[in-house]
Structure 1
Amino acid sequence: MPFLRVNNIDLSYEVAGEGNALLLLHGLGSTKQDWDAQVPVFSKEFKVITVDLRGHGETSKPEEGYGVDFMTEDIRQFLEQLNIGKVTIVGFSMGGAVAFQFASQFPEMVDKLVIVNSGPDFNAMGDIGDQMVAERTKSLNEFGIGPLAEQIAFNMFPEEGQEDMREAFEKRCKQNDLNAYYQSFVTLMKWGLGDKIQKIKAKTLVIASDMDYTPVDFKKAYVNELPNAELVVIKDSRHGVVMDQAGAFNYELYKFLKHG
């Protein structure tokens, strides 16, 4: 796996294909493997770039220095080193927060923006957010990463026939460094764009699952704040739509990239 030194960490990444740059950003506690069902498809027409965000996968896991701001600067320096001046960013969950922040800070570098089961204000999720912080903090402190990884994987892929996805996600989630995961999680839950979302002018596709943790109405509300956005809802899908409904997701993403 290639690495690039950016922002005082070694960032693990992969590039597949040629064409316009398409950067895929994974979710909390996961890795670039979130995109295993997308890379072979989109690399036929695009330069598909996947990374392990700081504290995740094979990328460095510093003792401190976590949060969406750090990850966003990592990505800026990374793209600069690859001589990529314009990119379409697809961000899933935590990756969506980084994509939002990047589009807000560096609008001249963003071609299109795709937000997948995410939001612009993790710090304004109300009771859902407070409960998530309390439960995950308690679980990590008492039992470590293993039981939490098992629970998250089951919540994402509970159906009969989803055993392989569940096991694969649980396995990579269990490999998380406890401190890196916790720091990434608590800083994410303190992050939000606020009114800055209204200044993101990039053409934006928001993809929501009908059974995600947060309801479709939550996504509709912030889509209405974005100047140039559309919402697509994928049915029979939970949080991990890029995996559990990969075909439907790929169809909507491809349509947007080519014709959106």
Structure 2
Amino acid sequence: MVYVEVDRDIRLHVQDLGSGTPVVLVAGFGLDHQVWDRQVRVLAERYRVICVDQRGHGLSDKPLGGYGVDRLGLDLRAALAALEVRGCAMVGWSFGGQVAFQVAAEDPGLVERLVLVGSNGVRASRSAEFPFGLVPEKLAPPLVEAEKRDRLSARRATIAGGFAENPGEDVLRWLLDRSLQMPSWAAVSCYESMLFTDLTAEIPRVTMPVLQLIGSDDPVHSAKGARWLNDRLSDSRLVELPGCGHYPMLEAAAEFDAALLAFLDGR
């Protein structure tokens, strides 16, 4: 476990285990390196596995600002530069997938392979060009209001609503504990960043091999949106996990690991 300074007086928490080709794991909204526990155990047998907690998340610093996707991308690139990482496979889940997509577009020399998990990569809301989900002007206000009114209940409802089936109290409580490490100011800023960011113009710049791992019943980033992106990327493979929601590393762990390892191994 290390801390890396990525901005003035801002440090990110990094878990760096194993050796070999680097695989970088970036969790989604409110969550941290601990959601990748199983994948770290599996991948570290043959790869160097690096989990980065984004600013405002997990054990990283939680400043009042700096939560735009561009800034979060710069944070991630600075952390990996400090660790002397180049030519990595980058795995981004949900909001982390948007950040990973931005980094891949901006720095293809850093990202040789990109994996989007439960993420449509370019958008998390509807636009004229991307006709999936709700428009951000309708989606953002109730999420922000709920966060400000009762963050514990709001986070619990958001997490539970992402599963295809009831996750069970132990799993829900564990994820909620992870999520509540993110303070309300970071959550509000990340909601706005996540829902209003548009990376569709960056699609032609993402030319490395891409794997999309999406649950067929994901209510957050839809399989339809993943198919839309798959059709527009130059080198993309789409794996839909049947009966799975927004948490494939938990809901369909064995299938998720098999697809991820096959892609990383070049199979």
Q: What TM-score does the superposition give when structure 1 sets the normalisation length?
A: 0.94
Partner amino acid, structure 2, of 1:6: V
How many angstroms does 1:128 deviate by? Answer: 5.4
What's 1:45 paired with? 46
Residue of structure 2 aligned with 1:216, choices 216, 220, 223: 223
Q: Is the 8 A contact 1:26 1:93 kept in 2?
A: yes
Partner of 2:174: 168
Is structure 2 residue 4 aligned with structure 1 residue 4? Answer: yes
Q: Which amino acid in structure 2 is aligned with residue 102 of structure 1?
A: V
Amino acid corresponding to residue 195 of structure 2 in structure 1: M
Matches within 5 A, 1:210-249: 210-213=216-219, 214-249=221-256
Q: Secondary structure at the match of 2:42?
A: helix
How much does 1:163 deviate? 2.9
Report if aligned partners of 1:157, 1:166 keep a CA contact under 8 Å in 2.
Answer: no
Give the conservation status (yes or no) of the 8 Å contact 2:159–2:176.
yes
**Conserved? CA contact 1:114–1:204, under 8 Å:** yes
Which letter does structure 2 place at the counterpart of 1:221?
W
Stretches of structure 1 that go unaligned for 5 or more consecutive residues are: none
Q: Is the 8 A contact 1:199 1:226 kept in 2?
A: no
Name 1:205's counterpart in structure 2.
211
Counterpart contact for 1:104–1:199, Cα < 8 Å: yes
Q: Deviation at 1:28?
A: 0.4
Alpha carbons 1:153, 1:167 under 8 Å: kept: no
Name the CA distance, whole Å, in 1 between partners of 2:202 and 2:13: 30
Residues of 1 paired with 2:33 and 2:11: CA distance? 15
Please report how far the alpha carbon of residue 78 of structure 1 lies from its aligned counterpart in structure 2 after TM superposition: 1.1
1:3 Cα deviation after fit: 0.4
Cross-structure match for 1:34: 35
> Whole-Å Cα distance in 2 between the matches of residues 49 and 193 of structure 1?
25
Q: Distance between the aligned counterparts of 2:169 and 2:242, measured in 1?
A: 19
Q: How many residues align?
A: 259
Where do residues 111-260 of structure 1 align in structure 2 (5 Å cutoff)?
111-119=112-120, 120-122=122-124, 124=127, 125=132, 127=134, 129-143=136-150, 145-157=151-163, 159=165, 162-213=168-219, 214-260=221-267
Native 8 Å contact 2:92 2:115 kept in 1:
yes
Match in the other structure for 1:64: 65
- Contact 1:158/1:166, CA 8 A, preserved across alignment: no
Aligned position for 1:106? 107
Distance 2:256 2:223 in 1: 16
CA separation in 1, counterparts of 2:102 and 2:57?
Answer: 19
TM-score normalized with structure 2 length: 0.92
Q: Is the 8 A contact 2:115 2:210 kept in 1?
A: yes
Say which SS state the counterpart of residue 227 (structure 1) adopts: coil
List gaps (5 residues or longer) in structure 2: none
Q: Cα RMSD between the aligned structures?
A: 1.6
Q: Kindly state the Cα deviation for residue 132 of structure 1 after the two structures are TM-superposed.
A: 3.0
Structure 2 counterpart of 1:13: 14
CA contact (8 A) 1:39 1:48 kept: yes
Q: After TM superposition, give the deviation of residue 17 of structure 1 in Å.
A: 0.7
